[in-house]
């Protein structure tokens, strides 16, 4: 699978937020987008997910996803930084907004939802879940069509180490099975997943070779 992202642009009035963002990736790879808060990382992901409109092209194996909501939905899962869940409903009822009952049961029995450990809190109201549980449930909802590409906006932000390890283990498994990840991050543990890194600064995306030197990385943001 080849992923091509070309010429992504976004402006609010006269202010350019994204300036001709282009990069590519493929199956089994993770692209990390780094940068300071407010630099446009989340905007980029929301455009790729079809939540916001922007200029440019997003192709998988030569097929344009922009302008085709059904094709985009089948191919791309999106986990925003905030919780895209209905707090008043249980975890099970949130899942049933996306899955058929049969599909949900199958995924709980050895599938995606089983790997994420969602079954342990199915009956719990979302408002009572921990941050890590909410994040795992959000990923579970995003995976309802088993998309080959998963977009994640700081997936482990504000989570404890055990929660981070659980989520990163799932994402590593997703990669190993041919899934492609595009994530925004400030987190050293998440960086270990990334095969390529880019820094977003002043609306421009520049390739960055991360060598494990976090201090050098911070000085380049």
201/206 Cα distance (integer angstroms)? 8
pLDDT, mean of residues 102-110: 95
Domains and CATH numbers, the chain: 2-87+148-220 (3.40.50.300)
Three-state DSSP state, 43: helix
The pTM of this model reads: 0.93
Which are the contacts of 175, defined by CB distance < 8 A and separation ≥ 6? 28, 29, 30, 181, 193
Residue 122: CB atoms within 10 Å: 16
190 vs 22: which has the higher pLDDT:
22
pLDDT in the model for residue 217: 75
pLDDT in the model for residue 219: 72
pLDDT in tens, 124-180: 999 999 999 999 999 999 999 999 999 999 998 878 888 889 899 999 999 999 999
* Residue 189 binned pLDDT confidence (cut-offs 50, 70, 90): confident
- Tell me phi and psi for residue 120, to 5 degrees: -75, -15
pLDDT in the model for residue 114: 94
pLDDT in the model for residue 212: 72
Is the pLDDT confidence value at 96 over 80?
Answer: yes
Is the pLDDT confidence value at 60 over 90?
Answer: yes
Per cent of the chain over pLDDT 70 is 100
Is the pLDDT confidence value at 211 over 90?
Answer: no
pLDDT in the model for residue 122: 96
């Amino acid at each position: 699978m080849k992923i091509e992202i070309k010429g992504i642009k976004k402006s609010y009035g006269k202010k350019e937020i994204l300036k001709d963002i282009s990069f590519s990736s493929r199956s089994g790879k993770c692209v990390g987008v780094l940068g300071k808060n407010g630099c446009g990382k989340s905007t980029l992901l929301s455009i790729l997910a079809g939540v916001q409109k922007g200029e440019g092209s997003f192709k998988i194996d030569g097929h344009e996803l922009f302008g085709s909501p059904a094709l985009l939905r089948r191919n791309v899962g999106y986990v925003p930084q905030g919780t895209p869940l209905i707090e008043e409903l249980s975890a099970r009822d949130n899942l049933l907004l996306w899955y058929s009952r049969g599909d949900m049961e199958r995924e709980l029995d050895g599938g995606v939802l089983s790997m994420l450990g969602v079954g342990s809190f199915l009956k719990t109201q979302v408002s009572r879940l921990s941050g890590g549980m909410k994040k795992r449930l959000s990923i579970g909802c995003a995976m309802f069509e088993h998309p080959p590409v998963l977009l994640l906006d700081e997936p482990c932000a504000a989570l404890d180490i055990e929660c981070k390890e659980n989520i990163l283990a799932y994402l590593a498994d997703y990669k190993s099975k041919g899934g492609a990840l595009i994530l925004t991050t400030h987190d050293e543990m998440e960086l270990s997943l990334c095969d390529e890194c880019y820094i977003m600064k002043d609306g421009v995306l520049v390739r960055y070779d991360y060598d494990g030197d976090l201090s050098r990385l911070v000085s380049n943001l």
